[in-house]
Structure 1
Amino acid sequence: MVSPSDCVIRRTGAAVGAGARRPSYPHPTGSRSAYSARVRRFPVIVGPTAGGKSALALDLAARFGNAEIVSADSMQVFRRMDIGTAKPTPEERVAVPHHLIDIVEPSEPFSVDDWLGRAERVIADVRARGALPIVVGGTLLYAKALLEGLFEGPEPDAALRDALAAMDPHERRAELERVDPAAAARIHFNDVRRTVRAIEVHRLTGTPISALQREWESGRTRPDALLVGLDWPTEAINRRINARVREMVGRGLVAEVRALWEHGVLGAQAREALGYKQLVGAFERGGSEEAIADAVERIKVETRRFAKNQRTWLRRLRTTPGSLWIDAASDPAETWGQRALEALEP
């Protein structure tokens, strides 16, 4: 459930899960001829998980009239991981072409480099056909890489990574706090992958990863893209997260994860996805009703924590020149697409 497509807000403010029918909007009269000749940029839609990004993308596609959606979600790339990653419904994928969904097996690794290369090719192809690519997703590293390029750190050192991963967790944490206090302040104690990478970068370069990332963040944003962000207050997004987890469980999330686990197809990366990780842990402990119920509660907690981390990324992205930010809690959801469409014009 990492970085999934998002819920829709009805006018009452209630969250509707990814499996529910999203509202459809008629194409504004003459929308294609009125806008396509004038629009020179493509939108990159970001926001917290469960915040309505996918609904906005679908609405914008309908209003523009000739658009295709490009997923920027690190877990929607995996086949058969459908409910927990909140993939668009088959009906939505027929109504609007979607790209970079279901492109690799859950046993395979998939990196930001893999996504960026594919995304650039898809965007170029869509634009060559005269359509509007709409990039949308909650994997904010993907969005930042598309807008500003990739952070060029040292090549991974497998032996060093293995040694760091085998360290006592408290000793590993102490080293991170000593060599890079700024990174330690934003990396959770239990986040082994990011902790190992931060220490690895320092050992290989002698420079804290936080300092290298600050240099990366000072780069310019590509001129042919418009960043569109959805702002949500913490309490509101937490309620939406809880509602969506309940909805996913009701749609069969437990059965979906169990089938993938029993067939042994979840690789190291895919099984870390929110929702999948917690339920796999429950199955490995016997899969009792109590263990599964506890896992569902953990999904809610960990997804809310993930949303908190997203807010840090979103604060950085907010400085992007010329970006559009929508107060999602106050502005009616049915107005978001029109605002984005108008902002795309020169």
Structure 2
Amino acid sequence: MSKGKTPDKPVVALIAGPTASGKSDLAVRLALALREAGKDAVVINADSAQVYADLAIVSARPTDAEMRGVPHRLFGVWSGEEGCSAAKWAAQARREIAEAHAAGIVPILVGGTGLYIRTLLDGISPMPEIDPAVREAVRALPVDQAYAALQAEDAPRAAMLAPADSQRIARALEVVRSTGRPLASWQQQRIGGIGDAIELVPLVLLPDREALYARCDARFAAMLESGALEEVAALLARHIDPAMPVMRAIGVPDITAYLRGECPLDEAIARGQQATRNYAKRQLTWLRHQLPQEWPRTAPENVELRSQFEILFSK
């Protein structure tokens, strides 16, 4: 759509960027600029760590002061015991967006979790129900036998997997045996995406890598000073399953190692900073190559709100 043209569909803004890129602050600034122009806006979280009530500090969730009176949704709404998947988040995000549009409010999505963003826009594959008897039989097979069976029943999928990847082998085998269709045929379908029903106004933030890494390091150190150790200790006291996403969030395993006496604090800090930098690097790669190339990309310091989001300010 040309700049300044009034959209024919409900508008959704999207600010996507890596961790520590300032995207949340930019979303608030956009909402405040829209308020000055006579339009209300709401910021909707699209970060897989910031959805958890248990990770206010470790996930760098915006504080009340940082929200500056702008309504925020889907921040800190899931319990760590429950867990949040891309499908669960997308369903909630669709409802929040629909409610905002019904009230004449501009939704501003902000985050760096690519799977969440693509699931919301493109939809998700309708995964089939698996016959419990089939699942039990498949899961009882030694991995070498399961892999041989998958080679016979779904050769293309078997060729994509390592022979020792027991979890993915079992999943593919139970799907083809339970439904008569290979996993790929289910994955080719997409349901629930809103991309065609909205006018998306995206902006992708691509900071200088070295400056971003420095901000990652500084932010992790600041988290520890702000109570990250106590936050993770509270998580551990609840005996949440270590496989749950909240226990695998960036920084949590490293702080856990320190709290359990497995490493000194300086080593935990170094590990956590490295993990944060690695995550930011993966996000940058995804943002550069996996999002549509026509989406605008810029460094955070070069954003001019009314120019980048001109369509939002049109009457």
- TM-score range (shorter-chain normalised) is 0.7 to 0.9
TM-score for both structures, normalised by structure 1: 0.69
- Is 2:167 the counterpart of 1:196? yes
- Is 2:239 the counterpart of 1:264? yes
Alignment match, 1:301: 274
Report the secondary structure of 1:241's partner residue.
helix
Percent of pairs with identical residues:
29
Structure-2 change in CA distance of 1:152 and 1:140 (3 Å): same
Alignment match, 1:123: 97
- In structure 1, C-alpha distance between the alignment counterparts of 2:256 and 2:137, rounded to whole Å: 24
Alignment match, 2:249: 273
- Is 2:111 the counterpart of 1:143? no
Alignment match, 2:225: 250
Contact kept in structure 2, 1:161 and 1:200, CA below 8 Å? no
Deviation at 1:288, TM superposition (A): 6.3
After TM superposition, list the pairs within 5 Å mapping 1:3-152 onto structure 2.
40-65=10-35, 66-93=40-67, 95-152=69-126
Deviation at 1:289, TM superposition (A): 6.4
Alignment match, 1:16: none
- Is 2:301 the counterpart of 1:332? yes
Structure-2 change in CA distance of 1:99 and 1:220 (3 Å): closer
Structure-2 change in CA distance of 1:67 and 1:264 (3 Å): same
Contact kept in structure 2, 1:326 and 1:336, CA below 8 Å? no
Quick one: which amino acid aligns to residue 338 of structure 1?
R
Q: Deviations 1:81-106 (Å, cap 9, x if unpaired)?
A: 11101111112345101111222222
Deviation at 1:275, TM superposition (A): 1.0
Deviation at 1:51, TM superposition (A): 1.5
Q: Deviations 1:154-188 (Å, cap 9, x if unpaired)?
A: 457888699879988xx99xx99x9567677xxxx
Structure-2 change in CA distance of 1:271 and 1:167 (3 Å): farther
Deviation at 1:345, TM superposition (A): 6.0
Quick one: which amino acid aligns to residue 260 of structure 1?
L
Report the secondary structure of 1:227's partner residue.
strand
Deviation at 1:127, TM superposition (A): 1.6
TM-score for both structures, normalised by structure 2: 0.75
Structure-2 change in CA distance of 1:207 and 1:125 (3 Å): same
Quick one: which amino acid aligns to residue 63 of structure 1?
A
Quick one: which amino acid aligns to residue 259 of structure 1?
A
Structure 2 stretches of 5 or more lacking a match?
A: none
- In structure 1, C-alpha distance between the alignment counterparts of 2:220 and 2:296, rounded to whole Å: 26
| Largest Rg, 1 or 2 | 2
After TM superposition, list the pairs within 5 Å mapping 1:173-184 onto structure 2.
179=157
Query: Which moved further from structure 2: 83-92 or 232-241?
Result: 232-241
- In structure 2, C-alpha distance between the alignment counterparts of 1:163 and 1:232, rounded to whole Å: 46
- In structure 1, C-alpha distance between the alignment counterparts of 2:17 and 2:169, rounded to whole Å: 25
Structure-2 change in CA distance of 1:202 and 1:263 (3 Å): closer
Match for 2:286 among 294, 306, 313? Answer: 313
Report the secondary structure of 2:18's partner residue.
coil
Deviation at 1:295, TM superposition (A): 2.1
Deviation at 1:50, TM superposition (A): 1.5
Query: Which moved further from structure 2: 301-310 or 135-144?
Result: 301-310
- In structure 2, C-alpha distance between the alignment counterparts of 1:305 and 1:183, rounded to whole Å: 25
- In structure 1, C-alpha distance between the alignment counterparts of 2:137 and 2:211, rounded to whole Å: 40
Structure-2 change in CA distance of 1:234 and 1:147 (3 Å): same
Contact kept in structure 2, 1:274 and 1:302, CA below 8 Å? yes
Q: Deviations 1:269-311 (Å, cap 9, x if unpaired)?
A: 210111112222333xx33661x32222222222222223323
- In structure 1, C-alpha distance between the alignment counterparts of 2:131 and 2:266, rounded to whole Å: 39
- In structure 1, C-alpha distance between the alignment counterparts of 2:248 and 2:78, rounded to whole Å: 16
Q: Deviations 1:251-285 (Å, cap 9, x if unpaired)?
A: 221222112212435662210111112222333xx
Alignment match, 1:26: none
- In structure 2, C-alpha distance between the alignment counterparts of 1:304 and 1:156, rounded to whole Å: 39
Structure-2 change in CA distance of 1:345 and 1:82 (3 Å): same
Contact kept in structure 2, 1:40 and 1:344, CA below 8 Å? no
Quick one: which amino acid aligns to residue 116 of structure 2?
Y
